[in-house]
């Protein structure tokens, strides 16, 4: 039962399928849930098309999360990411926001970037621009914390271009700094094609502040 709570800390609502995937002993899951409900730690919030449960109090969820060591937290997020990938194979876009969240809290940087980009594109398609901007910014912070190899340089530039495109009506100093750094990287290491694309957005937003450092955080 303790293991269920520990692995459950990261999500607001958990379906029967997710809980069974996490539980070490599926047969004992119904009894464990009954005990947790009786203790008013969790509550059932849906019966159809599949039963679902959630923590009854936010403070309980926070307490469980904070009791875990960082390594355990990352392992829990990795486990949930894998569970979602298996349960939603073939239709991952439905869960790309949750997948992005869990993998960005794990050690799987590549998967985090994949699902964050998917979530950003999905949000942009339905005109949820604040969510799209948030996802791009999170992606950039992950890439910026990674080694500055040729692959990550190009990734940083391309993500900045995506961020700029969904931020035309919400400019910020963060975007200006990212554009300035991207232009510097494109001129020093990349093709004329990316220099031209970044220059377009620099001109559209106005010139970025001078004096930005090559490794300045976004």
Residue 95's pLDDT band, with cuts at 50, 70 and 90, is: very high
Checking if the pLDDT of 5 tops 70, the result is no
Checking if the pLDDT of 160 tops 90, the result is yes
How confident is the model at residue 165, as a pLDDT? 94
Q: What is the pLDDT of residues 161-200, one digit of tens each?
A: 999 999 998 989 999 999 999 999 999 886 789 999 999 9
Greater pLDDT, 201 or 40: 201
Q: What Å distances lie between residue 155 and 91, 110, 144, 151, 213, CA to CA?
A: 25, 11, 10, 6, 18
Return the CATH fold of 1-68. Arc Repressor Mutant, subunit A (1.10.10)
> Where are the CATH 1.10.10.10 domain residues in the chain?
1-68
Q: For the chain, give the mean pLDDT.
A: 81
Average pLDDT, stretch 138-144?
Answer: 93
> Of 71, 64, 99, which Cα lies nearest the Cα of 85?
99
How confident is the model at residue 123, as a pLDDT? 93
């Amino acid at each position: 039962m303790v293991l269920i709570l520990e692995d459950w800390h990261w999500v607001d609502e958990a379906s029967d399928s997710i809980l069974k995937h996490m539980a070490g002993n599926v047969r004992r899951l119904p009894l464990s849930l009954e005990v947790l409900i009786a203790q008013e730690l969790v509550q059932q919030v849906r019966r159809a098309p599949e039963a679902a449960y959630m923590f009854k109090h936010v403070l309980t969820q926070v307490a469980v999360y904070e009791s875990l060591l960082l390594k355990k937290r990352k392992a829990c997020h990795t486990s949930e990411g894998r569970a979602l990938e298996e349960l939603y194979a073939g239709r991952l876009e439905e869960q790309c926001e949750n997948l992005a969240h869990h993998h960005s809290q794990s050690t799987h940087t590549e998967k985090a970037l994949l699902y964050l980009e998917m979530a950003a594109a999905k949000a942009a398609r339905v005109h949820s621009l604040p969510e799209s901007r948030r996802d791009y910014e999170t992606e950039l912070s992950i890439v910026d914390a990674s080694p500055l190899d040729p692959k990550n340089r190009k990734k940083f530039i391309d993500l900045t271009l995506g961020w700029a495109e969904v931020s035309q009506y919400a400019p910020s100093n963060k975007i200006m700094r990212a554009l300035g750094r991207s232009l510097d990287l494109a001129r020093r290491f990349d093709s004329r094609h990316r220099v031209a694309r970044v220059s377009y957005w620099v001109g559209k937003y106005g010139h970025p502040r001078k004096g930005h450092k090559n490794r300045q955080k976004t």
